[in-house]
Chain A
Amino acid sequence: MTTTFPEVAPTAKRTPRTLNPGLEPSDRLFHGGATMVGMFVLIMTGSIGLFLGYQSIPTLRHYGLSFFTQTSWQPELDKIGIAAVLVGTVEVALVAMVVAFPFALMMALFITDYAPRQIKSWLVSAVDLMAAVPSIIYGLWGFYLLQPHAINLARWLSQHFGWFPLFHVDTDPNAAVWQQSRYTSSAFIAGLAVSMMAIPLACAVMRAVFDQAPLGEREAAMALGGTRFGVARTVVFPFAKGGIIGGTMLALGRALGETAAVLIIVSPDFAIKARILEAGSQTTSQLIAGNFGDATKSQLSALLTAGFVLFLITLLVNSVAAVVIRRSRSGAGTEI
């Protein structure tokens, strides 16, 4: 028995039908609820950024560009500026990255290509644990354990490289009894402590991209007689360039915003110091933490402005990092 189908209007053949099922009521509720949460978070977090920017306007209007060039922070004299603070923040972060970059790179390469299989997962856990340790604990460690040894290194650097302005310290390094206190609480030592937080972050990103280096190319390099380092040089590093740079920049972003460890180690000194080995420095977070309590309304606004500048710098660094990672060959599958 043949089946007959109802006649379809001639014009309706071969043209797509519009389907509009719409959402059923409970789904409409679900989507609406999820959207509300998303919008709420968007508004709350976005308004923080906007609020900070808005608060900066009166401060910048009052002080103008001198806000960026003035080094001292004396609200009672109406002389405030973030020049010293910004320089100090950048110095600490840069010292941290100079130390962190090679160690993160070597650690990442070691974990992916050199570590014996049995300890590989332990190493990964150790690096992740390193990232989870609160910064104040690194501050304590840096101050009490590391500093006595690090000042020896600082002294050696100033002895042999003191002609370079960065490493000069205002005391005689060659004296038989040298002034230890001139080397303590410096940007250098704070940078070393902050590097403990930068290393695991950079290492995690680098490790993720090293793992993704294509196996086919690795095998080709091995089959040509390359050693493990030869494979790394020829295949892994060119592939992972974007991840290496991006991971480093992410860690830099973290280092710029670091607070607790710096609070413990550094003694405040409001001057643009190029001498990183010398005692005393100042970072933005320190500035805020030290001054918020006694601050008047306008001083609070100034502190917020300082913080806002820090936020913008960190945001810029993070965004560039994200773009570099995403654009690179290794970035496609990496989650940062």
Chain B
Amino acid sequence: MTTLQVLETVQETPPPTPRRVPRRIRVLTVDDWLSLVGAVISSLAVVTIGYEHILDGSGVLGFMVCWYFTFLAIYASLVALTNPRQIVVERLVTSTLYLAATVVILALGSTVVYTFAKGWHALVHVNFYTHDMSGVSPTAPLTQGGILHALVGSVIEVGLAVAISVPLGIGTAVYMTEVGGRGSQLVRTVVEAMTALPEILAGLFVYVVLIVGFGLPKSGLAASVAMAVTMVPIIARAGEVALRVVPSGLREASAALGANHWKTVSRVVLPSARSGLATGTILAVARGIGETAIVLICSAASSFLTFNPTNVPMNSLPLYIYTAYSSHEPTAITRAFGAASVLLTMVLLLFVVIRLLVRDKGQQR
């Protein structure tokens, strides 16, 4: 039978840490941080000196790449001085991952910042938001003309597309999850396949069938129909997922209370899936709002403001951006960036709405 052995501490123990107070656990020492900073600075110095001479200045990108590899080499040797191989690998991987994430975020950030910066000169003019480009040549100064027609066009076209695609998309999602059956499997396969349809083909299809085939005029409505073709599969798929995730316990509770299927779906299931459905819709809208080729093909780059979607060509923001860019005139390009800024703002707003909705759903639980 063993007895409790009393431990004798032979060596000096450090002063006891305070009781009942959480302690800060530091894994990295001062030495680790110094190695990192030292490697960064020394590699920068090495590359700065060597770059001009050895690699005859191939631009900023090349400099960054050389800096990265030099940093890896120096940092690896520093860390290897006091740490086993496993830790050296870990440190290199960690620094590379941080760098990769930074690069991606910088790329995104530079896109946003650059768009707003280049468009700034156009954005500060009020006429940019209130006039259209009718009678204004691309070389005209920024105090003339504006993107109102494109803005209105985008809103109307996407609005019509939403009006068409949301009922169809959600209806299909309801069909797939609630009614089910063999037909629904076929529908699911086809819908999934249609998400692969490039947007330009949707536009071309509408062009060939409605405009050339039926002789309908190029219009905002035609563009909306083509947009709806690309949006319906997105909404249907996201909607199906959102509906499927609704716990079956809710459906059973509703049935146990005596509700028929329709009441269950309309009063219980759809409201529960509300935010998932909204997210799917907004994702589809973000896609539709950015579609350039469809409006190019089914409508046209008109300069006139119009509220009539049915028989007059209607411009949109992406198409306006493209045509303004194509002229290669400096003021037109500034306007293009201005329009791009407006487009970007709209997408950002949609995005914020999605985030709010999703957080809402999280809190509901």
Pairing of A with B = yes
Partner of A335, one of B107, B112, B241, B289: B241
Q: Is the CB of A140 within 8 A of B261?
A: no
Does A46 make an interface contact (CB < 8 A)? yes
Q: Is the CB of A141 within 8 A of B87?
A: no
User: Residues of A contacting B195 with CB < 8 Å?
Assistant: 318
A311-336 contacts to B (CB < 8 Å) = 311, 314-315, 317-319, 322, 335
Does B355 make an interface contact (CB < 8 A)? yes
Whether A106 touches B187, Cβ cut-off 8 Å, given contacts A136-B322, A156-B58, is no
B278-322 contacts to A (CB < 8 Å) = 283, 286, 289-293, 296-297, 318, 321-322
Q: Is the CB of A260 within 8 A of B318?
A: yes
Shortest distance between the CB of A35 and any CB in chain B (Å): 6
Most chain A beta-carbon contacts within 10 A, residue among B60, B94, B97, B167: B97
Does B128 make an interface contact (CB < 8 A)? no
Does A69 make an interface contact (CB < 8 A)? no
Q: Which residue of A lies closest to B101 (CB)?
A: A110
Stretch at the interface among B74-82, B134-142, B171-179: B171-179
Q: Is the CB of B318 within 8 A of A107?
A: no
Q: Is the CB of B171 within 8 A of A149?
A: no
Partner of B175, one of A38, A51, A138, A317: A38
Does B196 make an interface contact (CB < 8 A)? yes
Partner of B196, one of A140, A264, A315: A315
Q: Is the CB of B322 within 8 A of A260?
A: yes
A144-200 contacts to B (CB < 8 Å) = 144-145, 149-150, 152-153, 155-156, 196, 199
Q: Which residue of B lies closest to A258 (CB)?
A: B198
Does A272 make an interface contact (CB < 8 A)? no
Number of interface residues of B (CB under 8 A): 94
Q: Which residue of A lies closest to B186 (CB)?
A: A42
Q: Is the CB of A125 within 8 A of B193?
A: no
User: Residues of B contacting A156 with CB < 8 Å?
Assistant: 55, 58-59, 62
Partner of A140, one of B107, B208, B325: B325
**A 289-324 binary contact with B (CB < 8 Å = 1; else 0):** 100100001001001100110110011011100100
Q: Is the CB of B171 within 8 A of A307?
A: no
Most chain B beta-carbon contacts within 10 A, residue among A128, A137, A227, A315: A137
Stretch at the interface among A19-27, A72-80, A211-219: A19-27
Q: At the interface, is chain A mostly helix, strand, loop or mixed? A: helix
Shortest distance between the CB of B244 and any CB in chain A (Å): 9
Shortest distance between the CB of A3 and any CB in chain B (Å): 26
User: Residues of B contacting A49 with CB < 8 Å?
Assistant: 190, 193-194
Partner of B343, one of A107, A134, A315: A134
Does B277 make an interface contact (CB < 8 A)? no
Does A135 make an interface contact (CB < 8 A)? yes
Q: Which residue of B lies closest to A46 (CB)?
A: B190
Total A-B Cβ pairs within 8 A: 267
Does A70 make an interface contact (CB < 8 A)? no
Shortest distance between the CB of B333 and any CB in chain A (Å): 8
Q: Is the CB of A307 within 8 A of B260?
A: no
User: Residues of A contacting B59 with CB < 8 Å?
Assistant: 149, 152-153, 156
User: Residues of A contacting B186 with CB < 8 Å?
Assistant: 42
Shortest distance between the CB of B322 and any CB in chain A (Å): 6
Stretch at the interface among B2-10, B42-50, B144-152, B199-207: B199-207
Shortest distance between the CB of A157 and any CB in chain B (Å): 10
Partner of A37, one of B58, B108, B172, B265: B172
Q: Which residue of B lies closest to A321 (CB)?
A: B196
- The complex places the Cα of A144 from the Cα of B201 at a distance, in Å, of 28
Q: Is the CB of A38 within 8 A of B201?
A: no
Q: Is the CB of A110 within 8 A of B90?
A: no
Q: Which residue of B lies closest to A153 (CB)?
A: B61
Shortest distance between the CB of A228 and any CB in chain B (Å): 7
Does B247 make an interface contact (CB < 8 A)? no
- The complex places the Cα of A175 from the Cα of B343 at a distance, in Å, of 42
Q: Which residue of B lies closest to A288 (CB)?
A: B200
User: Residues of A contacting B193 with CB < 8 Å?
Assistant: 49, 315, 318-319
Q: Is the CB of A230 within 8 A of B168?
A: no
Q: Is the CB of B204 within 8 A of A27?
A: no
Most chain B beta-carbon contacts within 10 A, residue among A55, A114, A134, A140: A134
Does B216 make an interface contact (CB < 8 A)? no
Stretch at the interface among B14-22, B30-38, B344-352: B344-352
Shortest distance between the CB of A315 and any CB in chain B (Å): 5
13 cross-chain CB contacts under 8 A: A31-B261, A37-B171, A38-B179, A45-B229, A129-B351, A140-B337, A152-B62, A156-B59, A264-B322, A284-B198, A308-B201, A314-B198, A318-B193
16 new A-B pairs (CB below 8 Å) besides A136-B340, A137-B344, A152-B60?
A34-B174, A45-B233, A48-B205, A49-B193, A106-B100, A129-B351, A133-B347, A140-B115, A145-B111, A152-B59, A153-B59, A155-B58, A260-B290, A260-B318, A314-B197, A317-B196
